[in-house]
Structure 1
């Protein structure tokens, strides 16, 4: 089993190092990381490629071990209805990089964001992904139940919700995340690249 030493590196670097090895053909891989966000992101990468994942505690951190898995499982887990595609990409992404809409009164901006997320959740044409970054992560790690309920409804309708792990750490909110998957710059930019269009709120 090949070993990737990603100690001391913040995401997305451990993920990108692991992906490079997978792209080279590696299917038996041990990725050593020293933070929980990297454990989650690297594990999700392996699952995306249909690989088995086992995490064990080692001195100074964790070893995320990949092994050959059943690719049909990953295929079966894919949504039955694919988002509409164009030559530019599939579906649309919504990028939320702050906890308010527009500039002006902060409370008005926050209320507008709350309404925007609710409106998206009630739509028949939901985004393929909603991406939270910078102060936008406060929305899914806060106490506003309407926002949490709206995001959960989007997930139930098939929307993938990714939340920047570095941003959660910066604001000290990692333990308060209520909904969505902790993610990284690599995956968040990837969803924007895959989408036919990206709406920024």
Structure 2
């Protein structure tokens, strides 16, 4: 079976996510992902290699054709499934990601939340503290992604003190208002916690 993913013009992480969906769709065969930049080519290739599939890349007229051969034969080594993250809690402390460019940080946080909606299993909870509460309130560009996560059972909690500090309590659009006791308790009960 052959499957083609035209990811030209897509921003990170969409080429990888669309390729992963295609890989999961077919039992065996070839997935060809077409990308228009070297970073996307490298990212898609890394995904395939991490799943132990053969990768062949061809450049045609400035576009990269990443051919992934997914063969499933008896006794083949199958990729390891991701560890369960049901006991994972994510703490978001600001409305952008990383340090340096604020503009880039806002692009990265959008990509982060989009990617969270595409990868399963989902985290148990996402806690928003300090400037991170801006992401759960009116005007946030990631509200739809957070709502998707909440609809899938992810607990969404925003710090009440933080909402009050930024005068945003009446503008909360998703999840519930929490307190420091619940935030600490949720973090302590989790097997893994990631801080963004």
Same fold by TM-score greater than 0.5: yes
Query: Which of 1 and 2 has higher RCO (CA within 8 Å, sep 6+)?
Result: 1
| Unmatched 5+ stretches in structure 1 | 1-83
Please name the residue that 2:59 is paired with. none
Q: Aligned residue for 2:188?
A: 193
**Most deviating of 114-123 and 176-185:** 114-123
User: TM-score, normalising length from structure 2?
Assistant: 0.55
Aligned to 1:181: 176
TM (norm. structure 1) is 0.54
Aligned to 1:199, the other structure's residue is in SS state strand
Q: State the secondary structure of the residue aligned to 2:153.
A: coil
Work out which of the residue numbers 63, 79, 93 in structure 1 matches 2:89. 93
Q: Deviations over 1:131-155 (max 9, x none)?
A: 000000011113134x111111111
After TM superposition, give the deviation of residue 123 of structure 1 in Å. 1.3
Residue 63 of structure 2 aligns with which residue? none
- Give the alignment partner of residue 146 of structure 2, picking from 145, 148, 151: 151
Q: For residue 98 of structure 2, what is the aligned residue in structure 1?
A: 102
Distance in 2 between residues matched to 1:113 and 1:143, nearest whole Å: 14
Which has the greater radius of gyration?
Answer: 2
Matched residue count: 114
Q: Distance in 1 between matches of 2:175 and 2:107?
A: 21
- Aligned with residue 160 of structure 2, among 162, 165, 187: 165
Offset of residue 174 of structure 1 = 0.6
RMSD between superposed Cα atoms in Å: 1.7
Gaps of 5+ in 2: 1-83
Q: Runs ≥4 in structure 1, deviation > 2 angstroms? A: none
Q: CA–CA distance in 2 between the matches of 1:167 and 1:193?
A: 20
CA distance in 2, matches of 1:173, 1:144: 12
Report the 3-state secondary structure (helix = DSSP H, G, I; strand = E; otherwise coil) of the residue aligned with 1:98: coil
